[in-house]
Each structure stands twice: as structure tokens, then as C-alpha cells.
Structure 1
Amino acid sequence: MKNIYLLVFTILFFHFSFAQVVINELDSDTPSTDTQEFIELKSNTPNFSLDGLVLVLFNGSTSGGDSSYFTLDLDGYTTDVNGIFLIGGPEVSPVPDFLLFENTIQNGADAAAIYIGNDVDFPEGTVATTTNLLDALIHDTDDADDTGLMALLGLMEQINEDENNNKTTESIQRKDDGTYEVKTPTPGALNDGSGVQFNGIIISTSLDEYNEGDSIDIVFTTEMNVTSDLTFDVTIINEGFMNSDYSGSTSVTIPTGMNTATNTIQIVDDSDDEGDEVMKITFGAIPSGFVRLNDNKELRITDNDFTVASWGTPVNPTFGNVVNTAPENYYNSLEGLADTALAQAIQNIIADPTTVRTHSYADIVEILSSADQSPENSNQVWLLYTEQNRAKLDFAGFTDGSDTWNREHTYPRSRGEFADYREFDDIADGMSGFFTTNADSLRHANSDAHGLRVTDSNENSSRGNQHYGEYNGPVATQGSWKGDVARGIFFLVTRYKALQVVNGFPDDTDNSISELGDLTTLLDWHRNDPPDDFEMNRNNIIYTWQFNRNPFIDLPNLVEYIWGDNIGETWSNTLSVNENERLDFSVYPNPASDYITLLANGKHGDVEIFDALGNRLVTQSFNETTRIPLNLSAGLYLMRIYQDNTSVTKRIIIK
């Protein structure tokens, strides 16, 4: 009998101890970027273990169906000396015990609830329940009461965060009697201002961006003077920014009676083109009695060793500096064809399931960082519509702020009916991770680099899914992108059977799905803005990933035979040099190592060697038999031989 009483007592104590944890404060809507939203839990006793509990957020909207959209398993976490555990966004101060992505907490009518259990008990879409429920708060920002959610959680009240018409600067706070009030947020502290008061420490610098070679004064400041020497460590390394990139101490001491200390870090000015990097200043362990008011402060370190390409940007285009890396016989199957047979032959090449590869939408970030790299600065990308440079680091998925770049589908996804596929598109596998594809694989258009470009994030949104001709780009720009876009569209509608380019501006009825206009506009853009070196370089880079090329860049006159002035005529790609002239030049040994010899048979001229991306690495004149020294890594290269008004391209291998 004693054992039964003991078991009952243990169960009651177990539930009683959990029941003391409540939702103490909630801020679901904060100014601007929603980075200051938070949920604060409170235990009746200090330093209380949250093992065995889980926080669940429920979506009360019609589409949400009063079901879970976020869970946080609280195993391993403990409240502080005031019984507080803070969960919040990246700009909440003091720094939360658990960091949320911005805009995680929805505005309402929604609910936050604490349960006995684990996160696996509440997979996404789990309907709210009172089973094992310890505490819940249903909140809104001037929304109607969600009576269904109230019934599911056994609550009689829904709290309006906007009851004072200040929803972005106020929070819902629990009072000692269990009721709620709405007032100025107090994250990380008891709502009535009582309890242990912590001394906050903040990290600051005069700038957010520095150059290699600069000195950075990092200032550490406490809210109140310290009563004894305060010593702690910070780290500043972050991904590519390593110990070798700086000198200086990362141990900090604020002397007794003071509230500030400054550490000077010297950024190493090396000669390596590592790309722009981010230094991240992060607190180590902080002594008791202190809290971090901010943390993980990021500083941009601009690399001054960037390279400049031998070709121009689209607004200052150059031609003929980037060699076409298409295999010599790549387009042979088009010879002598016309009309639909010609279009089909093009598709057979660029959608060949035995060779063509597709990569994930996540991989597109890496592909575009290279394919749309600015010729003026190797650490930047070139923005399509706005015709300007932007740091590669400022991809919208990597950083906050308005001046970011994104992946623009030149053929809008909503018109092509292709979208993200989580099991395929969310993971970047790199060049070696790919799937096979064919002309019917429309979903792969979502991550086809020939149809994606780097654009300003705001302009990307403004462009929307308008037809070209309706959308003509930002005012006061040159329109240097128009031919590029036209050829990208022509590629896509040839590559994928389901896509079409048509005259006019089709409406959004079911009959116009997968139709994009305006063909006449795109033809004009193609004719007035021919392919330049930037576009050829882009074609070369994408080819190394996808194993297909945009033929309308390599052979721009093809456009006229499919959509333009030469419809119905037979295509013939006349060679600039006949086969007999090609035989007049030979190179040996091939494969080569330290040198290669050009046998010119009495001719003289110039020779250039390019890598697979079209970068010119060697330039030399030749006369008769000429030995060309090589200092190249192993791989495939292209040798272009110029003599009079002709040129010959040969492939060489360096072993």
C-alpha cells in the first residue's frame, strides 16, 4: 500500500512541478522587420530545469486550421535566477536564451502553449489540444476571437496586443494574479520590475564595414560600472575569416570602477583574393550577474585583392575576348534543317537526357555567383535590371537589409507553373550532385541557370510576373539586359516542351498558362542587343554545371530561323575556316606538361590559351615552329590560333 501512495505522490509532484512554468510575456509584432519578437517563459522557482517540456505555436487562421506551425523542445534548458527563459528574434535585447529566425512568431489570432512532452509529439499540422497542457496564451493584433482555438485549448479569453493601438511597441504581459496587461516590452526581466537586476554588456564598433589592412576598435560597454575586474573572452573567426586574417587580443578586461574596454584588432592585408568575408564578434562565457545586450555582431571585411576581367560589363560591352567553349561538333546536327525539325534538333541537344544535368535551386546561388560575377570586381555580382554591382555576400538568403540580390526567374514561375520541390531544391549538393533531366521535366526549369539571373531583391519584387513589353526595366537605365533576357527566354521555350513565347500579353486565364509575351518585343531586344563577352562567359560557366549551352548565344542567327525573318529557310553554320586550313596548324605534344609546340607551316600570327571558363591565360606570337612555355595546372584548355583574318581553335590537355 505504501508503494501505491508513493507512486501517486510522485505523479502529483511531477505534474505540480511542471505546472509552475507559464508564458510570462509575448510580443508577436514588432517594428519593420519583425526581428524583435519574443516569447518569455517563467518558473516560480529560479534556475528551474525545463526538461520534459515543449513550446508549441498554433496557427489560428482559416488556412492554419488551429494547428501547430512551430515547436521547440525545451530539454536541456533552464530558467535564470529570476525564473526567466527568453526565446526571441535576432535583435531582441538582452540576447535570448534561444534565438528564433525573424518573423517566426505569427501575429494572430494564434496561440503559444507549453506542454509536457517533446517536439516529436507535435509534428507540423497537429491540432491544438488540452492533453498534457500546462499553460497557453491566445493572442491577436486586432483580430476577431478564434472561438474554435479557445475551445481546443480550454481558454475563455483571447488577448489583443493592439488594445492600446501600439501593437509594434507593446507586448502582452502576465500579472501575478494570472491576468494580462499590454504595455512596453520587458524581455529578460520580471514584468513588475522586481527581481535580480543584471548588468548588461554591449559590443560596438564605429563602422560595420572595413577593408583589409584596417584597424578595428571593438568597444565593450557595461550599463553600470563594474565592482571588480570583469574579464571574459570573445571570438571573431567566422567561416572564411580565420585566425590568420587578423592579429590582436580577444581577451577583454573592464577594470574595477569602469564600464568600458577597447580591444584593437588589426586586419591582415594579404595578397590573396579570398573574397569579401564577415568577421563575427561573439561573446564567450559571461560571469554571473551580467547579460549580453547584443552578440554575434557582424562586420564586413572587404578584400582589396579582387580581380578585374578582360571583358566589360553589359553597359560597357566587349566582344571576342571570351572564347566559346562549345565542343567542336556540338551543333553539327542542326545542319540542313528548318522549321520544326530545326527546333526539335536544338531541343535534342540542350535537353539530351544522356548528358544534360539539373541542379537544385539552392545550388543556383553558387552558380550565379560565378556566372553573373561582375567583370569589374570578382567579389561582386552584376545585377540584371538595375545594371549595377553588388557584393556576393549580400545575397538575400545570407544577410538582412534592403540592398540584397536574389535569384530572378526571367520566365516567371507563376506563368510556367514550376516551383520549389523541397526534397530536391532545398539542399546545395555542388557540381557533383545532380539529377538527369529531359524536355518534359518542366519542374527543372525552376533551377535552370540559363533562365535565372542575379537581380536587386526589390526590383525582383517590382518585376513580378509581368510580360516583357509590359515590363521594360527601371527608368534611367540603358536596357543592356534586354537581349540577354530575350535569349534566355528563347532557350527556355525550346528546352522545355510546356513553355511558350507568344505575341501580345496573354491574360492569366487557364488557357494562357505557360505562355509568356511579348515575342515581337523579345525579337527586337535580341536584335538590338547582341551577345557580348559577359553573356558568352556566362554560357561557358553554366555549361560546366549543366552540360548544356544556350545556342542563341553561341549562334544568335538561329533566333531568326525559329521565330524571325528566316522562318522556313534551311540552317547552315558556315565555318570561317575550311578543314584544309585547319590542317595547316598542328600542336604537340598533346597532352602536354611544361610546354607545347605549334607547327605553323610557314605562317605567322598570334596564339592565345584559355581555360574552360573562357579566361585568357597565355598570349604569344608565333612564326614557323614555336615552343610555347606553359605554367598551367592540369586540365582542359583551348588554344586559339589567329592568322590573317582567320582563326582556329584546338583543345589541349595539360597533365
Structure 2
Amino acid sequence: MKKNLLVFAIFLLSQFAISQIVINELDCDTPGIDILEFVELKSDTPNFPLDGYVVVFFNGSTNTTTGQGRSYLALDLDGYITDVNGLLLIGSNSVSPLPQLIIPENTIQNGADAVAIYQADDLDFEIPTFAYVDETLIDVLLYQTNDSDGAELIPIFSQFNSNIQIINEGPGNNTNSIQRNSDGSYFVGSPTPRQLNDGSGVVLNGIAITIAQNQYNEGDVFDITFTTEQNVTSNLNFDIILDFGTFNTSDFTGNTSLTIPSGQNTTFTTITLTDDSDDEGDEVLKISYVSLPPEYLVLNSNLQIRVVDNDFSVASFGTPLNPTFGTVTSTQPNGYYDSLDGLSGDPLKQALQDIIANPAIVRAQTYADIVDILKEADQNPANSNQVWLLYTEQGRAKLDYQTSSNNTGKWNREHTFPRSLAGYFSIEADDIADGKNIFWTTKADSLRHGNSDAHGLRAADGPENSIRNNQHYGQYTGPSGNAGSFYGDVARSLLYMEIRYNGLQIVNGFPNVTGQMGDLATLLNWHRNDPPDDFEMNRNNVVYTWQFNRNPFIDEPDLVEYIWGNMVGQVWSKSLSINENSELKVQLYPNPSDGEIFIKGLHSKAMIEIFSIEGKKIKTYHNFKESSLKLNLQTGIYLLKINSDEKKVIKKIVMF
């Protein structure tokens, strides 16, 4: 009998301990891009340790893969303690007062969803885990924003509370939050993060950080000001740190131990950014408190300032808007394309695939590795701290890679052959950036690896990437007023993808068939009129160091005609070559041509000789220095010999 009484007493005590934590307030939707969402927990007693608890968010949509009560986020609360009012705030760094537990912006879904507290571990809710009710469930809130779904959640959680309802926060972009009454019911009102919903409790003295701007150059001097809401009643001594990533104490001078004197409410420190001669790239400093007394409420923290490095380097070659030719040479191994000689048609395509999809040589990297590859391969020739954006034809700081749902001013990874059209996908390991020396073996049938093939991915402006979406080229031609500097690049990227991966094909028109991409006719014209420049050749060289394969249509542009263009069925032979030191670096386009060709890379007067394929000289142009040449030639293949600045080159052209 005593044993039973003891067990019953332990049960009551455990229930009492568990019941101390409830969901006190939820703001699941805020105006704009949802950076101010939060969830607030409340304990019956102040300064309550939350070890052994987990907050779990469940998706109540009708989606049969991710919704119907499956978890999408679990936050372990080990090590966290509620404040003097018994509150723990969970939200992004943009929420004020600053949450004790920081999560990324736009993490909490609008609904219809649920948030629950369990006495468990986050590992018990690996994504996605179906919601359940047992003795570990402490509290749950079902919510929505004028949503019609969420019905699947009610029968699940009615086992916990038979009268449970879905609480409506309001329509999308509302300014409300859902708040708990003392009797366990909920009401909707203006958000009150880190405050008790009834207005009671200890009023803490808030302290805020202010800065004049969020970007400075090396060598600049600026102030950081700290202000409390009320005058302090005794000296407030505190420390701050600015270290973040590669930015450390060697990158600045200034006081980081501060005091707000008794009876006052503000102080500041002056920071001088070190102007060194190292090309470290742009960096970010983050202003954070080391510690504050418990009677002070941090209104904001972790403020970030961009430190622009003025020691960036400029490449020897031009951007795609101001292209150069011949400065960057191919790093292909000797004999890389020798196996193509003497082939035509399908045997030529197969031999090409055997090179660029050779499972004994070629490597596949993760989708996360692509970010690092693009920072190197798409580096802006005019500024080494930036990437060059494909469609908008401009540089953007490498630091501005998109890491949240907000893509404004950010760059991200653009698939030239969209995933939704190609049919490739990611796996969990693709989220790990593990560097050059960790890779997958890959082959022509490894279509999944097309998702992370750097020859098929480019750095692109976030909003413009969204505008392009999964449109075919020809449907999409870039933003208004673009110069078309990316046309040839995307054409050669897509043609590479067809050869590299079985299951992908470039076709005419705008097909709605998985594995097909268009428009071939448009892409052939883009290839002919925008020949490979030094930027593209450098890119090919960089990707080769990661993947151990190359885009052959950058190294040998004429191959395009033998596979898709006007030379289909004819035997391929290696381009005529001259000693590298004496070769004139020019580009001719379009090729094939209907009569007029343009010449890029000719910087001084030249002599141009035209020969038939049999070697008979047909015409000579002396002192030629124009941007284009109009030829009155019959259909056929011709050779152009160009001499300028004591250098020469022989180019093969096709007339139709």
C-alpha cells in the first residue's frame, strides 16, 4: 500500500513539473517577408530550466509527403532557462526584444499548422515525424491564417484536449499574434514578445544598439551607440565582441569594455577598421554582448556590418560585357579530345560522352559544394570579391549568397536546365559542402548528379532566377535591355548537359516532357553569335579542377555544328592549329554564316585570305580592320587565314 502511495505521489509531482510549461504566444505571420515571427513559452515559475523539453512544429497541410501532421522543425531546449517573468522567446535575430533562442527568419509556417511542447528530445522528431499524443506531450496550439486545411490535426490532438480548436491569427500579412489567457483560452491582439500577456510582471530595462550604416570600407571609422530605455540606477558595465567568421581583433581597434554611468542611459565606442594590404575578401563583423545583468532586456544584438576589402584583384581578362579572347587558354590535358578524330554522327556523340562522363575519372560534387565552386568559377574579373551574375550581367558580393527565403539583393544557384524539367534531385548528403577531395563516382546514367554539375549551374540574381523559373530559352531571353552576353554561355551549358547525361535532350520548341529542354534553334543561334570568351574558358578551367571533366563546346566550339548544326553527318577533325606562341586569338561568328561574319579580337590591321576547302585561294583583303566581313560565297566549307601583328590563325567557316 505504501509503495502504491509513493508511486502515485511521484506521478503527481511529475505532472506538476511537466505542467509548468505552456505556449504563451505565437506570431506565425507578419507583414512582408515574415522576419518577425516568434513563439513564446511560459513557465509557472521564473528562471525555470528547460532541460529535457523540445518544441516541435507540425505541418497541417494536405500534402501527402510533408503535411497531414508531419513535423518540419524540432528545437531542443536543453540549456535554456526562462527569464524573471517565466518567458522564453524563440524567433529570428530581427525580433525585438531579442529572443533567447535564435532561429532563421521565415522559419515558422503560417498554417494551418501546430506547435507543441514535449518532454522529449529533438532526435525523437526527425523530419518528418507524424504528430502523436502520449504522456510526453505537455502543451499544443493549433493555428491558422484564414486557411481551409489543417483538419487532419484535430483528430490527432483531440486525444490531448477533446475541445481543441484551431485558433485563427487572421489573414495573410496580419499584424496580430495569438496569446494565451490565464484560463488556457486564447485571444488575438498586438504582439507582446518578452512581456506577459496581461501586462503584469517585472518591467526590464531594455538596451539597444544603434549604428549609422551597415557597410564600411577598410580604414573607415564609425561609432556604435548603446542606449537603455530608462536611466540606469547604478553603473552598467558590459563587454561586447565584434568577431565573426574571418573577422577578428586584428581587423579593428577600439574599446569593447563599456560603461553607462549611473543616472545616464547611453554610451558609445569608436571603432577603426584596419586598412591592411591583404586581399581577404569582404568580411562581416557582428556586434554582440558578452553578458548583461538579468535586469536588462536585450532589445537587439548580433548586428552585422559589411567590411568591404579594398584590396580586391582584377583579372587579366574581361567580363562577359567587355569580353576578351585568347588571354585564357584551355587547361585540357594533351590528347583530351583525340578520340573524336575521324568520327561523325552518333559515334561522335558517344565518344564525346565517353570523355566527359568517364566513371574512372569524372567526379560528382555535392549541391552545397556548388556555392564554393561558383564563387571561384563565376568570380567577377573586375573584382575578386564578387561573383558575376548570369542574366543581369553585373557583379555582386560573394557574401550576398541567399541563405533565407528573402532573395532581394542576393545571388543563388541557377540551373540552366531546370530541375523540374530535367528530373534530377537532391539527397541529404547534398547539403554538406565537403570540398574537392570528397566526391561521388559518376557516369552517364547518373542523372541525379546533374543537379550539382557546375557546368550546368551559374550564379544568378535571386529575383531574376525566380522570374526565369523553368522557362525554356527562347521563351526567356533575359531581363529587359540585357546585352545578351550570356546567350552563348547557356547554349553551350545545355548542349553539354545533353551529351553528359542520358535522359536529357535539347529539342526545338518548348516541350512539356521531362528530360527535354528548348529551344534548340534559339540556342544554336546564341552559340554562333556569342562565341566562348576568356571568362567562359577560365570558368571551364576552374570547374575542371573540381569535376575532372570539361565542357567541350567551350574548348572546341565547332563541335556544336557536327552534332546539331550544319555539319551533322560530316567527319570531325581537330581544328587546324598553329604554334601557340604565334597564334592570333580571334573569334568568328556566326559560323555557319549566310554571308556576313563578325570578327572579335582583331586589334590592328590584318590581311585576310580566303581559301576553298581544296586549298585554292579565292580572295584577299589587305589592311582589313572592320568588325564584320561580308562574303559573297557559295554554299560550302572555306578556310580563312588571318595575319595581324606578326601572328596568324586559320579558321574554318561554313557558308549556307
Match of 2:123 in 1: 120
Greater mean deviation of Cα atoms: 431-440 or 298-307: 431-440
Q: Would you say the 8 A contact 2:58–2:69 is kept in 1?
A: yes
Question: Counterparts in 2 of 1:216-365, with a 5 A limit?
Answer: 216-365=222-371
Q: Would you say the 8 A contact 2:455–2:493 is kept in 1?
A: yes
Match of 2:12 in 1: 12
Match of 2:588 in 1: none
Match of 1:518 in 2: 519
Q: Would you say the 8 A contact 1:33–1:103 is kept in 2?
A: yes
Match of 1:404 in 2: 410
Q: Would you say the 8 A contact 1:141–1:167 is kept in 2?
A: no
Match of 2:503 in 1: 498
Cα distance in structure 2, aligned partners of 1:166 and 1:439 = 46
Residue in structure 1 matching 2:468, options 456, 460, 463? 463
Q: CA deviation at 1:260?
A: 1.1
Matched, 1:205 2:211: yes
Cα distance in structure 2, aligned partners of 1:130 and 1:62 = 24
* Residues 399 and 311 of structure 1: CA distance in aligned 2, closer, same or farther (over 3 Å): farther
Match of 1:182 in 2: 188
Cα distance in structure 1, aligned partners of 2:526 and 2:247 = 43
Matched, 1:438 2:443: yes
Match of 1:645 in 2: 647
**With structure 1 as the length reference, what TM-score do the two structures score?**
0.85
Three-state SS of the structure 2 residue aligned to 1:113 is: strand
Q: Which amino acid counterpart does residue 205 of structure 1 have in structure 2?
A: I
Q: CA deviation at 1:643?
A: 11
Cα distance in structure 1, aligned partners of 2:208 and 2:274 = 26
Three-state SS of the structure 1 residue aligned to 2:485 is: coil
Q: Would you say the 8 A contact 1:95–1:292 is kept in 2?
A: yes
Cα distance in structure 2, aligned partners of 1:567 and 1:92 = 62
Question: Counterparts in 2 of 1:574-653, with a 5 A limit?
Answer: 574-577=575-578, 644-645=646-647
Q: Would you say the 8 A contact 1:139–1:160 is kept in 2?
A: yes
Residue in structure 2 matching 1:382, options 388, 399, 405? 388
CA RMSD in angstroms, aligned pairs only: 2.1
Match of 1:26 in 2: 26
Three-state SS of the structure 2 residue aligned to 1:195 is: coil
Matched, 1:57 2:57: yes
Matched, 1:367 2:370: no
Cα distance in structure 1, aligned partners of 2:579 and 2:254 = 65
Match of 2:147 in 1: 143
Residue in structure 2 matching 1:477, options 463, 475, 482? 482
Q: CA deviation at 1:25?
A: 0.8
* Residues 525 and 213 of structure 1: CA distance in aligned 2, closer, same or farther (over 3 Å): same
Q: CA deviation at 1:76?
A: 2.6
Q: CA deviation at 1:159?
A: 4.4
Q: Would you say the 8 A contact 2:70–2:131 is kept in 1?
A: yes
Q: CA deviation at 1:33?
A: 1.8
Q: Which amino acid counterpart does residue 72 of structure 1 have in structure 2?
A: L
Three-state SS of the structure 1 residue aligned to 2:247 is: coil
Greater mean deviation of Cα atoms: 330-339 or 51-60: 51-60
Three-state SS of the structure 2 residue aligned to 1:539 is: helix
Q: Which amino acid counterpart does residue 136 of structure 1 have in structure 2?
A: V
Q: Which amino acid counterpart does residue 365 of structure 2 have in structure 1?
A: H
Q: CA deviation at 1:270?
A: 0.4
Match of 1:44 in 2: 44
Q: CA deviation at 1:513?
A: 1.7
Deviations 1:423-466 (A, max 9, x none): 2x111111111111111111111111111111101111111111
Q: Would you say the 8 A contact 1:170–1:182 is kept in 2?
A: yes
Question: Counterparts in 2 of 1:128-167, with a 5 A limit?
Answer: 128-144=132-148, 146-154=150-158, 155=161, 156-163=163-170
Deviations 1:262-306 (A, max 9, x none): 101110000011000000111111112101111111100000000
Cα distance in structure 1, aligned partners of 2:565 and 2:70 = 55
Cα distance in structure 2, aligned partners of 1:22 and 1:562 = 67
* Residues 121 and 340 of structure 1: CA distance in aligned 2, closer, same or farther (over 3 Å): closer
Three-state SS of the structure 2 residue aligned to 1:91 is: coil
Q: Would you say the 8 A contact 1:51–1:74 is kept in 2?
A: yes
Structure 1, unpaired ranges of 5+: 583-641, 648-655
Q: CA deviation at 1:49?
A: 2.3
Three-state SS of the structure 2 residue aligned to 1:309 is: coil
* Residues 365 and 351 of structure 1: CA distance in aligned 2, closer, same or farther (over 3 Å): same
Residue in structure 2 matching 1:427, options 407, 427, 432? 432
Q: CA deviation at 1:53?
A: 2.5
Matched, 1:96 2:103: no
Q: Would you say the 8 A contact 1:161–1:171 is kept in 2?
A: no
Three-state SS of the structure 1 residue aligned to 2:98 is: coil
Q: CA deviation at 1:399?
A: 9.6
Q: CA deviation at 1:248?
A: 1.1
Q: CA deviation at 1:227?
A: 1.1
Q: Which amino acid counterpart does residue 101 of structure 2 have in structure 1?
A: F
Q: Would you say the 8 A contact 1:449–1:542 is kept in 2?
A: yes
Q: Would you say the 8 A contact 1:143–1:160 is kept in 2?
A: no
Q: Give aligned pairs, total.
A: 581
Cα distance in structure 1, aligned partners of 2:38 and 2:389 = 36
Match of 1:564 in 2: 565
Deviations 1:368-425 (A, max 9, x none): 11111111100011111111110010011279551111111001111110121222x1
Q: CA deviation at 1:3?
A: 4.5
**With structure 2 as the length reference, what TM-score do the two structures score?**
0.85
Cα distance in structure 1, aligned partners of 2:134 and 2:74 = 16
Structure 2, unpaired ranges of 5+: 584-643, 650-656
Deviations 1:530-557 (A, max 9, x none): 1111111111111111111111111111
Q: CA deviation at 1:130?
A: 4.5
Q: Which amino acid counterpart does residue 49 of structure 2 have in structure 1?
A: S
Match of 2:542 in 1: 541
Matched, 1:172 2:172: no
